[in-house]
Structures are given as C-alpha cells and as structure tokens.
Amino acid sequence: MKKALMILPLFFCALFAIGAAAEKNPRVLIQTDQGDITVEIFIEKAPVTAENFLKYVDEGLYAGAAFYRVVRMDNQPRSPVRIEVIQGGIVSRETERFPPIAHETTEQTGVLHKSGAISMARNTPGSASSEFFICVGDQPELDFGGKRNSDGQGFAAFGIVLEGMEVVNKIQQLPTEGQMLRERVIIQNIQRITAEIKQARGA
C-alpha cells in the first residue's frame, strides 16, 4: 500500500511533464473563407522553419493571403511522381517578406510529410520564405530522399493539422485551371491560439 502511494505522485508528475512538453508547441488558427484550420507547430523539432513561419504569423503578414494552388491526382498528368497538397501564402509581391531560410530536411527533423503535415514550398534548397502547403494524405515523396524533387532534399515539414482537415479536403476539390484555383481561398488571418481564442471557439 505504501509503495502504491509513493508511485501515485510520480505517475501524476510524469503526466504533468508530458502535458507541459506538449504545450511547448504553439498552435495557430488559419482562418479562411472556407472554414478554419488549427495547426500545431513543431518549434523544437524544426526550429528554423517553425520560427520563420511564426515570424510571419506574429507580424500579421498572412492576413489577406490565400490558398491559390491545389495538386490532385487528376491535374498533374505530366509528373512522373504525383502528390496531393494545397498551397498558399502571401499573394501580393508588395508585402514585406523576410529573407529565405536554411533548408531543414525531414532527415534532420524527423517531421515527415504525413496527412495534414504543413511544410514550406521552395524552389532550390534554402529558398523557402513565406509560401507553405498542407499534405492531403501521406506524401513520402516529399521527404528527404523522395523523388518529387530531383535534388533529393525534399521539403521542410514543421507542423501538423489538428482540426480542419475537412476544410483542407474541401479546398483541394475546388474548381481549377490546371493546378491554380479559379477563385482563390482567402486567408483572413493566421494567428496563435490564445486562451481568449480557445474560449471564443468553445474549446
């Protein structure tokens, strides 16, 4: 009985530690005209990429941005390696942007392109800045060593959708011209989820 009483506080301490560790990852709310998406940002696993994204969020630079490109199996006929994502970011070239960031591979971070993963769009490694995409289904060809990019470096995933995949799926199925949405989905804002926002959403 005494041993059980001694173990019980240790058990609750462990649970508290796990909960505290989970709270270290900030969450953001992506508000669009098609619905809301809640994303957990892996600040410890992918610090360079996560901090860059949060810098844009905290500066309010994603307000008025948009999802403008969707990639489905039916709209990439010339690609030998097919993927499924929705892509968005800052539409106006006049909006202030920060310098591109160093490329954090999935081999370095361990954050893979699973369904709902949020990741940075890029051209060459080290060119990512503000544009991002969300995976629809698992996309291993976007990981380090994947074949979607000829350089084999993959993309830099840095978080995961917690709520709102139905919104992501809805956006992916909207009408397109090629891979570009006929009507962009406006991102009204992306902001960190605070206690006030949680309360307003009934969380």
The domain 25-200 is placed in CATH, from the list 3.40.50.2300, 3.40.50.300, 3.40.190.170, 2.40.100.10, at: 2.40.100.10
**What is the phi/psi pair of residue 180, to 5°?**
-95, 135
Residues of the chain falling short of pLDDT 50 = 1-22
- Spell out the domain ranges in the chain: 25-200
The model's pTM is: 0.86
pLDDT given at position 99: 92
Q: Specify whether the CB–CB gap between 154 and 104 falls below 8 A.
A: no
Q: Assign residue 70 a region: left if phi > 0, alpha if psi is -120 to 50, beta otherwise?
A: beta
Which residues make beta-bridge pairs with 114? none
pLDDT given at position 81: 94
**Closest by Cα among 60, 15, 23, 59 to 198:** 23
pLDDT given at position 13: 44
pLDDT given at position 153: 98
